[in-house]
Structure 1
Amino acid sequence: MRVNLLMLVFLLSAQSVLSQTGHSLKGTVTDINSSPLAFVNAILLNSTDSSIVKGAITDEKGFYSFDEVEPGTYLLMLSQIGYSNSYSSAIIITEESGNQTMPTSTLLENTIQLKEANIVALKPFIERRMDMTVVNVENSIVDAGATALEILKRSPGIVVDNDGNISIKGKQGVMVMIDDKPTYLSSSDLQNLLRNMSSDQLSSIEIITNPSARYDASGNSGILNIKLRKKQNLGMNGSVTLSYGQGQYPDFGGGLSLNYRNERINLFGNYNYSYGYYFEDVELNRRFKEPDHTSSFIQRTSDKGRYINTNFRAGIDYSLAENQTLGLQVRGYNSTNRDRTTSHTEVFNYNVLPDSGYVTRNENDSKWVNVSTNLNYRYKLDSLGRELSADIDYGIFNNKSDFRFQTDHYYPDQSQSTYRDLATNDQPASIDIRTIKLDYIHPFSKAVKIEAGLKSSFVKTDSDVKYKNIVNQVEVLDTGKSNHFIYKENINALYISSAFEYKKFGIQLGLRAEQTVADGNQVAIASTFHRNELEFFPTAFLTYEFTTNHEGRFSYSKRIERPGYQQLNPFKYFLDPYNYMEGNPELEPQLTNSFEMSYTLMKMFSISFNYSHTQNAMAQISKQIDSTRTTFVRTENLNANDHYGVSLSVPVQITKWWYSSNNFNLFNNRYQGLSSIGEVDQRLSSYSFNSYNSFTLPGSWSVELNAYYNSRMVWGTLLVDPVYSVSAGIRKSFLDEKISLRINVNDIFHTETFNSVMKYQNVDADFNRIYDTQFIRVHLSYNFGKKNVPEARQRTSGSQEEENRINTGR
């Protein structure tokens, strides 16, 4: 019933855009402290039968308005979760009434005592704002104890593949930031970092599809900004968390967070630890064309690994004066992984039974360490909003991976050949990042504002890979497979952005210029390259408020996606003697022009249309050498990637105790161009759906149910099969919300598998991958200390975009 009523509100509100004949009725809603209340449901009812006539939702100023109200007698109902419903007395509209303004309405908090536990209002899991979508992780049940990577997979419009590549609304090339600071990590290392971050550390995730000129131009499909949790309690306070998960293998986790604040100093810090096991089962089928037949390689791989992750964050904010703050922050993480992989490969030619085969055993021990520091300063020049801020960042990333390979060949009768491959592969790598950033904000009035700034980053990567064959138990360096690669990069950026409002229009225009100076050096063969490029990145945003409940928006941005540091390294990474990956020093950045147009109804329901064109589109190209039956993968530039799509967001308060947020994306991707193996033209229409449901029950119990479905998609030259998953969780709080127990089940039906196909030119292969995605996790948290401390200051470091491109570990 409630769904039907809300859909009726939707339709009645939309109808008001089409007709302009009646009177207007407006008003304001506040709380008991006279503070404006946003997102209050304002429903205009017919006084005779209480049927819904019109619906509206208050804005950030608590304002609502009904246009084109016909003469009659009405009642006004105001409702919001956490507050008691309010009903007005009879409102009489006559032909002579004209436009009416209601007296200010006050809503009272509705705190219900049930078995000595309080039910309080929480932020919705998914919020739609003018320039972004926000996923509020902090109070989620399903996400309790989950990793940041697991949370991203359940976020609207986000797809994460098995290699950690992230796409937004079907578009790849995402810049991931943490507290407004770019991470500069490659997809595999970003995946490792996000696995290392627990939901206990996260407050929210901001999904920004068309960022302004203030942000780095990197990330052709947009930005994911992960906001870390900040304590807001007075004096000393903190929290302790423990979690245990059980899938095919167990995992453990725990953390401690502390915060202290007085009038001048804010000290904050946290430490988190996780330990567990994981597995991955892969089946790879490759087919090679012979003159008179097709031979097949069927490879089944089983990988079991163990991880030990720790991370910390500590900082201080010191008020030099009432309008000046100096801050220092240090964060770091340490990841130790041990992988043991066994791969069985059977070779089929003319026979139904295999003709031959081989078994590869791979032992990999890796350690990944990062320490990053940020020194920041903020100066509020006046009460009008003028502000100057500066950041200096320095980060060190070190990775050491030691591989040991053993390949045994055998005959059709399963007897082992005397031929055996033995090799070791040491892959030490270090990355050094330095950045400096300066931003200035100057409001001329409430309607006009200008922002400007500059940034310089300096990056040096050093990768020295030594591949050794073991001959008669002696390690012999293989210079053909070894590689020492040094890469240096300097990016200098300037930007200016202006925003102004006029009546119902809002306009923001920006321009960013980035100069990239890069030098690469393959030390062993004395091969170098040098690049010096200057690019301009314009942005434009236009909003128009048709009425209080109807708003249109248009945005445009030009963005860049630079290759990851290791993607430029021509080193060959061998999975076994017949499969390897290699870098490409000739890889060019891809440039994307993005357009988006959206309509928002009642500040809740929205529909958007988007189009983007990417030139020099980067895509993974697989090559098969039929004569040697070898397969290898490297990233190359294609001519273009064209993407267009439509997105629909429908959040619905179905009942007082059931809230549902539903998101649907329909899009088409086309990759085309000339690669090193010939012409590539891959296109496909796809869709994705995400539904989040929250149920508030008596006795401080609450339940969440989350489901998503991704249809078949094209990622470069890869066709990915459909995937879906359903997860659920339950929460119970004790001792006035100090203790919280959460239990969640992930991937209930164990459907989150990754299957894909590559078929073009002479390439013919398919993959099937299964992970430990089905598990149950128990999470316990305890909050202690004083309440209502002002929160620690959110800071933007300058080195985020560079860190996004690092590739140093699993």
Structure 2
Amino acid sequence: MNLAVKYFLLSSITLFLFGAIGNAQQWSTTFNGKVVEKSSGLPVAFATVAVVDNETKKAIDGTTTLDDGTFSLKTNVTDCYIEISFLGFETKVLQVPDTKNKQNDLGTIEISEDAQKLAEVVVQGEVSQTVFKLDKRVFNVGKDLSTTGASALEVLNNVPSVNVNIEGQISLRGSQGVQVLINGKPSILTSDENNALGTITADMIDRVEVITNPSAKYDAEGTSGIINIVIKKEEQKGLNGSISVNSGAPNNHSVGISLNRRTEKFNLFTQLGAGYRELPNEITVRNTDLTTGNVVLSNGEEFRNEEFYNFILGTDYYFSPTSVLTLSGNFALEIEDQPSTTNFTALDGLGDLTSQWERTEVTEARNPKFQYELQYKKDFEDDEDHDLLFSALGNFFGKDQSSEFLDSTVSGEDRDAEQNTRTNFQESVFTFKLDYTKPFLDKFSVETGAQYILNDVSNDFEVENLENGGFVVDPSLTNIFEFDQNVLGVYGTTAYEGEKWGLKAGLRVENTEVGTLLVNTDESNDQNYTNLFPSAHTSYKFSEKVSLQAGYSRRIYRPRLWDLNPFFNIRNNFNIRQGNPDLLPEFTDSYEVTGIFFVGKTPLNLGLYHRYTNDIIERISFFEDNVNITRPENIGTNNAWGMEFNTKYSPVKWLTFNLDFNYNTFSRQGSFEETVFDFSADQWSSKLLTKIKMPWDIDFETTGNYQSAYQTVQGEISDIAFLDLGIRKKILKGKAVLNMSVRDAFASRIQENQIAQNDFEVFNRSFRARFVSFGFSYGFGKGEAMQYSGGRRR
């Protein structure tokens, strides 16, 4: 702790000394202002602001407006005027005095739509686009098919480099070690133990920031990067809202309503949702003991049936136009029913049947979730990027679950048995964060801040076996697992961003205290470590059509609760998943170079990256008496090199293609006990998204995905290819939307995993059913049609 505090004080003093330079004199003139749409008063982002010479009528200097419509433009020209233009709007000309004042505030500048170009602008403005910043890529959410009438998960699935699988698991460049934030902060909506991310609708999202090499400002957690979902600042006064109804097969039904009421000082917002869904999963497993030849086959169907309810309520209070306090809360409840039936067959070394039996499961669970957040933001008047932000976030997740397992012999050896399990789980997470940003000298800025995260977990798990007519606790599978983790982080960054070249560097220090305890057996494991996480990013703009970015960051992956908890799942008691309380964290050094090229209006993004990971965590299979137990272990190092390519091409106005391609080759070195896991392999994946605008306000979309087979430390994961379809029809002058989607249209999303060792083999096949859904949504007031799909499937 002392070391972290010292670094915090040193960083803060150094950065504020840099900030003092901001008073240095400058001999140029700076024009500041804000561009808004005249009819609605909404800000106009990416409008062109040019300094034009009065004599030659040629542009000398220029910039574009930011997301909030503001701009700051510095020039040393005096005999000039300002010209503001944006596609579909009339050009605005502002005469400026012949002065050498350091600051010229042009105030709020209104621009009006050009009626002759409006039809074309509606089409152009609906297209989502990616903008490249110094240390991140920004996906600005438009109103095209990939967003309108969609949930946040569907928006993410259209962001380059990001994929969302059928269960709602989010990956970045094929890796699931990614941290998802909302407005730069952790949220219950993005946690692994929650299904509420779908309650964020596309009309609520302003942009999605993809940060593959995060700077020191961000939490060092997440080895493959950060996805930050930025919610719009609601500026529409009065009562606005939307409602949606969805239905699908397998059973997936939901209704949601979103309301917003804004006055001069208050903004009150709420969202309510409820629904029911089923998630079937067909699983086949074959365990083979190569020493004896004995085989155990199991196949069956599992369900996760859920009722879910969600309620969000929050308010913003504006002390002034530059000072706002936000208080919000979220309550969610899941009621689970998990029936499953698995058929087992046992064969001896000669292939003769020795036994057949059926294992059935009846599981019920209630999962309450709470979140509350207090946030204060102060924007300073001297610069739009000069701000102070404090937030306090609290999360609670609970699970009260009971399961009954019944084994019934069909033929052969007697396999009759009964087991009961009970789980009482509670988790509390508190996050306190303070961030301060100070620009100076127009092109320089510093950031400093601190974050403290407290995580407290208790999992009471009990297994009972039926013996002599009564249930007896199995002490080998019963225990209370307690997990506490506190992380204190402080950081400082400084950045220079000129017209062509930019550089950003920073350092983050994090101290981690971890404690695990198995209460019944009094086994504990305490760790305390402090780490430095440097980062550096640079960019150079060769021209309007060619830019280059490069970055480095150091990341950490701390083992999650279910990685550490040694008692996990006995649904299939011949294939058991288990945790490991002795796991150490992974550390990754990540390097990246990305080029951005434009061929005409078509962007081509090509990136090369390198990741070197120490103490990498892999799930290892341990095999005994035809029982396969998988447990995570720290297995050596991973040295990966990769290439990523994506582009967006529109040969005609009604047709758009989005292509993502990712290839990486890796070298693994490591051993566990007496087994060496050294090997080299590669893998690749691709995604092609096709959007077609049809007559009668109908949009059609297809998404094809392919993921190659790849080698693991003990076997191989098979390749997989699948196609998703979607169609949307706008009605009632665009205020309402009818939509239909089909996920895995050809029922080809089949995952196969083959583990092959000298003395055993395990084959696992999993298949999720095809999903078809229908939806209707309607927006009232100034609200947009949305979709509430019930959120993320776990």
Which band: TM-score by shorter chain? 0.7 to 0.9
Change (3 A) 1:188 1:265: closer
User: Is 1:569–2:565 an aligned residue pair?
Assistant: yes
Which residue of the partner structure matches residue 264 of structure 1? 265
Is 2:511–2:530's contact at 8 Å kept on the other side of the alignment? yes
CA shift at 1:548, angstroms? 2.4
Which letter maps to 1:222?
G
CA shift at 1:449, angstroms? 0.1
Change (3 A) 1:767 1:133: farther
CA shift at 1:136, angstroms? 6.0
Which residue of the partner structure matches residue 614 of structure 1? 613
Which residue of the partner structure matches residue 408 of structure 1? 408
Answer with 523-532 or 200-209: which moved more.
200-209
Partner Cα separation in structure 1 for residue 280 and residue 718 of structure 2: 21
Is 1:31–1:108's contact at 8 Å kept on the other side of the alignment? no
SS in 2 for 1:690: strand
Paired positions, count: 695
Trace 1:707-718 onto structure 2 (pairs within 5 A): 707-714=704-711, 717=714
- What TM-score, normalized to structure 2? 0.80
Trace 1:164-563 onto structure 2 (pairs within 5 A): 166-183=170-187, 189=193, 192-194=195-197, 205-228=208-231, 231-246=234-249, 249-290=250-291, 293-384=292-383, 385-412=385-412, 418-502=414-498, 504-563=500-559
CA shift at 1:496, angstroms? 0.3
SS in 2 for 1:533: strand
Change (3 A) 1:303 1:573: closer
CA shift at 1:563, angstroms? 0.4
Deviations 1:174-213 (A, max 9, x none): 11223322248998635x4557767676665433211111
Answer with 579-588 or 497-506: which moved more.
497-506
Deviations 1:652-678 (A, max 9, x none): 121122222211111123333112462
Q: Percent identity?
A: 24
Partner Cα separation in structure 2 for residue 685 and residue 671 of structure 1: 11
Deviations 1:683-715 (A, max 9, x none): 422221112222223332222222221111346
Partner Cα separation in structure 1 for residue 169 and residue 703 of structure 2: 22
Structure 2 residues without counterparts, runs of 5 or longer: 1-34, 49-61, 67-84, 91-110, 785-791
Is 1:239–1:781's contact at 8 Å kept on the other side of the alignment? yes
Partner Cα separation in structure 2 for residue 779 and residue 577 of structure 1: 40
Query: Which of the residues 670, 682, 687 maps onto 1:690?
Result: 687
CA shift at 1:779, angstroms? 1.4
CA shift at 1:168, angstroms? 2.0
CA shift at 1:329, angstroms? 1.2
Which letter maps to 1:173?
G
Which letter maps to 1:323?
T
Which letter maps to 1:279?
P
User: Is 1:648–2:651 an aligned residue pair?
Assistant: no
Which letter maps to 2:388?
L
Which residue of the partner structure matches residue 669 of structure 1? 666
Is 2:509–2:533's contact at 8 Å kept on the other side of the alignment? yes
Deviations 1:274-331 (A, max 9, x none): 21222110111121122xx522222102113321122222211101123221110112
CA shift at 1:341, angstroms? 0.9
Partner Cα separation in structure 2 for residue 760 and residue 160 of structure 1: 32
SS in 2 for 1:355: strand
Change (3 A) 1:238 1:149: closer
Which residue of the partner structure matches residue 92 of structure 1? none
Change (3 A) 1:273 1:203: farther
Is 1:366–1:809's contact at 8 Å kept on the other side of the alignment? no
SS in 1 for 2:582: coil
Trace 1:35-74 onto structure 2 (pairs within 5 A): 38=46, 60=64
Is 2:290–2:761's contact at 8 Å kept on the other side of the alignment? no
Which letter maps to 2:668?
Y
Which residue of the partner structure matches residue 657 of structure 2? 660
Deviations 1:556-588 (A, max 9, x none): 000000000232222253233332222111100
Partner Cα separation in structure 2 for residue 457 and residue 621 of structure 1: 30
CA shift at 1:719, angstroms? 2.5
CA shift at 1:448, angstroms? 0.3
SS in 2 for 1:182: coil
SS in 2 for 1:466: strand
Is 2:290–2:760's contact at 8 Å kept on the other side of the alignment? no
Which letter maps to 1:779?
G
Is 2:293–2:350's contact at 8 Å kept on the other side of the alignment? no
CA shift at 1:517, angstroms? 1.1
Partner Cα separation in structure 2 for residue 39 and residue 782 of structure 1: 30
Change (3 A) 1:522 1:148: same
Answer with 354-363 or 560-569: which moved more.
354-363
User: Is 1:738–2:735 an aligned residue pair?
Assistant: yes
Which letter maps to 1:403?
S
SS in 2 for 1:426: strand
Is 2:462–2:473's contact at 8 Å kept on the other side of the alignment? yes
Which letter maps to 1:701?
I
SS in 1 for 2:294: strand
Partner Cα separation in structure 1 for residue 318 and residue 182 of structure 2: 24
Return the structure number with greater relative CO, CA threshold 8 A, min gap 6: 1
Which residue of the partner structure matches residue 75 of structure 1? none
Partner Cα separation in structure 2 for residue 306 and residue 138 of structure 1: 34
Is 2:252–2:276's contact at 8 Å kept on the other side of the alignment? yes
Which residue of the partner structure matches residue 749 of structure 1? 746
SS in 2 for 1:736: helix
CA shift at 1:135, angstroms? 5.3
Partner Cα separation in structure 1 for residue 379 and residue 620 of structure 2: 51
Change (3 A) 1:136 1:780: farther
Which letter maps to 1:732?
K
Answer with 425-434 or 715-724: which moved more.
715-724
Change (3 A) 1:718 1:495: farther
RMSD: 3.4
Which residue of the partner structure matches residue 96 of structure 1? none
Partner Cα separation in structure 1 for residue 735 and residue 574 of structure 2: 56
Change (3 A) 1:629 1:126: farther
SS in 1 for 2:677: strand
Change (3 A) 1:231 1:252: farther
Which residue of the partner structure matches residue 771 of structure 2? 775
Deviations 1:601-621 (A, max 9, x none): 139221110010010101111
Partner Cα separation in structure 2 for residue 146 and residue 382 of structure 1: 37
Which letter maps to 1:244?
S
Deviations 1:351-382 (A, max 9, x none): 44422233211222122221111101111233
- What TM-score, normalized to structure 1? 0.79
CA shift at 1:596, angstroms? 0.4
Partner Cα separation in structure 1 for residue 88 and residue 757 of structure 2: 57
Which letter maps to 2:773?
R
Answer with 236-245 or 745-754: which moved more.
745-754
Change (3 A) 1:31 1:390: closer
CA shift at 1:787, angstroms? 6.9
CA shift at 1:267, angstroms? 0.8
CA shift at 1:127, angstroms? 2.1
Change (3 A) 1:195 1:107: closer
